[in-house]
Chains A and B, each alone.
Chain A
Amino acid sequence: MKKNFKLYISLFLTTLKISAFTFGGGFVIVSLMRKEFVQKRKWLTEQEMLNYTALAQSSPGAVAINTSILVGHHIGGFLGSIVTVLAAALPPLVIISIISLFYNLIRENLIVSYILMGMQAGVAAVLCDVIMGLSASVWRESKTFALAVMILTFLSLALLSINIIFVIVACAVAGVIYFGKIGKKGLKNDLS
């Protein structure tokens, strides 16, 4: 029990550290977890970590949270996953709470509003950069299908303001039908 307790504490502290100091998206956190859990502490193997990352991506939600649930479960069972989720969620919860408490006060300040106006243009650029990178990678994956889905989803949200949940369900169904057919065709070609 004492050894278990120690394990949970170090699981908590390691995850907390990763979550508190990682800027940027989920995959940055995942690669840090790999470094800490696989290479340094040897709590799981490289292959297991890869499988969990793939699973985490297949589920809705934040990749960092999903991965920490899976890794926590692997290392310490149900209690382990509770420990890692708490540790992963705590830093953003505390940091953003403090910021939003002062938000109104800070937002009124002229200097801050100048900075935020500049950052707004910067964020627009970051989003455009992400779009360019992602559209190139989905194009490589499924060409015309990708292009059609990109354009249709953009138009249905930006122009028609269709509820995004319907759009998501429709695209998932389209993926199952389209890639399911391709899979069968590929199989037939292989057989003939």
Chain B
Amino acid sequence: MIYLELFWAFFQIGLFSIGGGYAALPLIQQQIVNNYGWLTVSEFADLIIIAESTPGPIALNAATFVGTRVAGFAGAVIATIGFIAPSAVIIALLLFLYNRYKNLKYVNDALRGLRPAVVGFIAAAALTILKLTFFSESAATVGLVNIASLIIFTLALIALRKFKIKPIMVLIGSGILGLVIYGGLSLI
């Protein structure tokens, strides 16, 4: 039963995640956190960190992470298959159409409509993470706002936008900063 639920949840994620990578995040959040309650919001944030720091597509990493936690390794395999199944079928269909018509106007138009939507989706997922980070309780929280997070966030954004440093490097740097700031505060 749990296997069936896992398969179905990730089948839907696979079927509706268009635009790859981050675009799947809000979909995963809605299914895994809101609908099934398999992860908390803070575990979901951890999942993004893990997915970003390891090779492989985010959705596939999410499938394995959630699958393992809910139903062990078998759960991971089933969630992964559930995610891949719809795109495998659709890809086969598209390949057939492509070889016949070489031109898929409707598919292209639909995709052009979806591209800006993907930005909105990612923004919604980012808002969840931002709320979690900025309003988390810690030794660095003044009033409601976590000052340390605000500083790390600002530095990371500057590193990414201005100096074009790779996301993985920025994440490692943020981790080190977190250790220094929170570790330092706990020693005081």
Bound CA–CA A124/B52 (angstroms): 12
Within 8 A of B (CB), among A40-97: 51, 55-66, 69-70, 73, 81, 85, 89, 91-93, 95-97
Q: Is the Cβ of A154 less than 8 Å from the Cβ of B69?
A: no
B124 beta carbon closer than 8 Å to chain A: yes
Let me know if A126 and B118 touch, CB within 8 A: no
Interface positions, chain B 135-185, Cβ under 8 Å from A, are 136, 138, 148-150, 152-154, 156-157, 159-161, 166-168, 170-171, 173-179, 181-183
- Give the chain B neighbours of A168 by CB distance below 8 A: 16, 18, 114, 117
Q: Which residues of A contact B58 (CB under 8 A)?
A: 25, 62
Contacts of A91 in B (CB 8 A): 55-56
CA distance A88 to B35 in the complex (A): 29
Provided the pairs A131-B122, A138-B119 are in contact, do residues A117 and B138 lie with their beta carbons within 8 angstroms? yes
Question: Per-residue CB proximity of A2-40 to B under 8 Å, as 1/0?
Answer: 000000000000000001111111110000000000000
| Choice from B90, B98, B117, B166 contacting A60 with Cβ under 8 Å | B90
Number of contacting residues on B, CB 8 A?
106
Instruction: For A192, list chain B residues within 8 Å (CB).
Output: none
Interface pair A24/B168, CB less than 8 Å apart: yes
Question: Shortest CB–CB separation between residue B11 and chain A, in angstroms?
Answer: 11
Any B CB within 8 A of the CB of A108: no
Q: A60-B86, A124-B133, A127-B129 are in contact. Are A115 and B179 (CB under 8 A)?
A: yes
For B157, list chain A residues within 8 Å (CB). 125, 128-129
Which residues from chain B contact A191 at a C-beta distance below 8 Å? Answer: none
Chain B residues, Cβ within 8 Å of A107: 46
Q: Chain A contacts of B17 at CB under 8 A?
A: 60-62
- Residues A65 and B111 in contact in the complex (CB < 8 Å), given A115-B178, A120-B129, A150-B116: no
A103 to B174, CA, bound (A): 20
Tally chain A residues at the interface, Cβ within 8 Å: 92
Q: Are B111 and A57 in contact (CB under 8 A)?
A: yes
Q: Judging by beta carbons under 8 Å apart, are B22 and A22 in contact?
A: no
> Nearest-CB distance from A132 to chain B (Å)?
7
B-chain residues with CB within 8 Å of residue A73 when the two chains form the complex: 95
Q: Flag whether A1 is at the interface (Cβ < 8 A).
A: no
Q: How far is the CA of A182 from the CA of B176 in the complex (A)?
A: 51
Interface mask (B71-108 → A, CB under 8 Å = 1, otherwise 0):
00100110010011011101100110010000011111
Cα(A27)–Cα(B58), bound, Å: 13
Which residue numbers of B lie inside 8 Å of A, CB to CB?
A: 12, 14-22, 24, 26-27, 30, 34, 45-46, 48-61, 64-65, 68-69, 73, 76-77, 80, 83-84, 86-88, 90-91, 94-95, 98, 104-127, 129-130, 132-133, 136, 138, 148-150, 152-154, 156-157, 159-161, 166-168, 170-171, 173-179, 181-183, 186
* The 9 A-B residue pairs with the shortest CB-CB distance in the complex, in nearest-first order: A118-B178, A175-B113, A61-B87, A122-B174, A92-B56, A153-B120, A125-B156, A62-B57, A157-B124
A-B contact pairs, 6 of them (CB 8 A): A23-B53, A65-B87, A93-B76, A114-B179, A118-B176, A149-B113
Query: Contact residues of A with B, CB < 8 Å?
Result: 19-27, 51, 55-66, 69-70, 73, 81, 85, 89, 91-93, 95-97, 99-101, 103, 107, 110-111, 114-132, 134-135, 138, 141-142, 145-147, 149-154, 157-158, 161, 163-165, 167-168, 171-176, 178-180, 183
